[in-house]
Structure 1
Amino acid sequence: MSKNARLSLVIVAVVAVVIAGFALFSRDDGTTAVARSADGKVTVVEYLDLECPSCRAAFPGVERLKTEYGDRVVFDIRHFPIPSHRNAELAAVAVEAAGAQGKRDEMFRLLFETQPEWGGQQTSQRAVFLTFADELGLDRAAFEKALDDPALRERVLAQRSEGSAAGVQSTPTFFVGGTKFSGAPTYDALKSAIEKALS
């Protein structure tokens, strides 16, 4: 590749990142830049990796907060599969594939509950995810077709790119009311941040 061609590629990449950044911070659908939705609710955005043990550890506290705050707080889960986690991206796609049949939350919960069984494996866990679809009563053929849908994979990767543009470097990363949360994402710490955003 010539020096000019490489320079052109670098320029294109930089422009793409800048455009993505503008798109991220001009959106008004509960992304990291939005402190409150149109009806005044606080939004909590979480970028997570389904194969990440720290995300699994934070999961029960987040579920408890969802129950406690009900419709006062919008919880927006976004995928950020870490490339070194062999099955994180496929797990994220599995969640979206289950969502096509109305079982996104159930698949999300099942993947975290069973993470010690399939996480950390260096071989594809596709067959395991297919058995999870059976457990949830999904149409297996439709689920498998969705699992191979490039559009779902692109949705997952777009969320990861969006997170990177917002400064996400590890998982889980939370934004509460538009402010990046720092510290350990314990139930008490997240609750405190939510209360501050609500006040």
Structure 2
Amino acid sequence: MKTPVKATLITVAVVVAMILAAVIYVLVNERSTPSPGGEGEPASVVRPNSHVLDDGGEGAVTVVEFLDFECEACGAFYPIVEDIREKFAGEITYVVRYFPLPGHTNSTNAALAAEAAAGQDRFEDMYHRLFETQAEWGESQESRADLFRGFAEELGLDMAAYDAAIADPETLARVEMDLNEGQALGVSSTPTFFVDGEPLELQQWDDLEEAITQALSTGP
């Protein structure tokens, strides 16, 4: 066999092998990584069971925040978010989703507390309490679940129902659903915001407000 022909056949064989390897890789990953929203269902920025702090109704700009209650950056954004919610009341739908970071000892505990409170329609109250007290428990290297339980007592929650929710594996599964879906959407840090389904790259403190203003000006 002539050398040029032989080299061409080798090149073709290598290309075919690479294509097959790529196809196998995709198929394996599709099978091993479950869809966050269910089998065959694509990732979604908002779910029917997502926690809505403000519902602006039809035509409102939808803002979604993936957050970690222990994250210092989320804590720093908390007052900014509250100002935005007040400023754009009736114009935006504000949605919160969990994204507990693995480096934070109590991020999942805090999310569980919020989800347990949500079972009693008190999500927003716990949301505020966790951020307002973040300096007291954030960065702790030991579980502060008892402190969060104390918050539930202060809020007047049914403690038997709260304890049952904390112990229920479905509560953790609900938190992990947000986490897994966030990862599928490309979320890797907190806070991460989506405005009308589009991820927002934060560079300055007023980027979120500007993105909302822009979305309102362009309309649906």
The alignment's TM-score, normalised by the length of structure 1, stands at 0.84
How far 1:26 moved relative to its partner?
Answer: 9.3
- Give the one of 36, 48, 52 matched to 2:67: 48
Match of 1:169 in 2: 188
Cα distance, 1:101–1:185 mapped onto 2, change above 3 Å: farther
Cα distance, 1:67–1:160 mapped onto 2, change above 3 Å: same
Structure 1: 5+ residue stretches without partners: 1-6, 32-36
- Give the one of 209, 212, 216 matched to 1:191: 209
How far 1:10 moved relative to its partner?
Answer: 5.2
The one of the two structures with greater contact order (alpha-carbon pairs below 8 A, sep at least 6) is 1
Q: Secondary structure at the match of 1:70?
A: coil
- Give the one of 150, 155, 158 matched to 1:131: 150
Cα distance, 1:183–1:12 mapped onto 2, change above 3 Å: same
Q: Which has the larger radius of gyration?
A: 2
Cα distance, 1:185–1:124 mapped onto 2, change above 3 Å: farther
Distance in 2 (alpha carbons) for counterparts of 1:137 and 1:86: 26
Residue 70 (1) aligns with residue 89 (2): yes
Please state which structure has a larger fraction of its residues in helix: 1
Distance in 2 (alpha carbons) for counterparts of 1:152 and 1:16: 19
Percent identity, aligned pairs only, is 40
Distance in 2 (alpha carbons) for counterparts of 1:73 and 1:28: 17
CA RMSD of aligned residues (A): 2.7
Structure 2: 5+ residue stretches without partners: 1-24, 51-55
* Aligned counterparts, 1:19-98, within 5 A: 22-25=41-44, 39-98=58-117
In structure 1, give the amino acid aligned to 2:93: V
The alignment's TM-score, normalised by the length of structure 2, stands at 0.76
Residue 100 (1) aligns with residue 100 (2): no
Match of 1:142 in 2: 161
In structure 2, give the amino acid aligned to 1:60: P
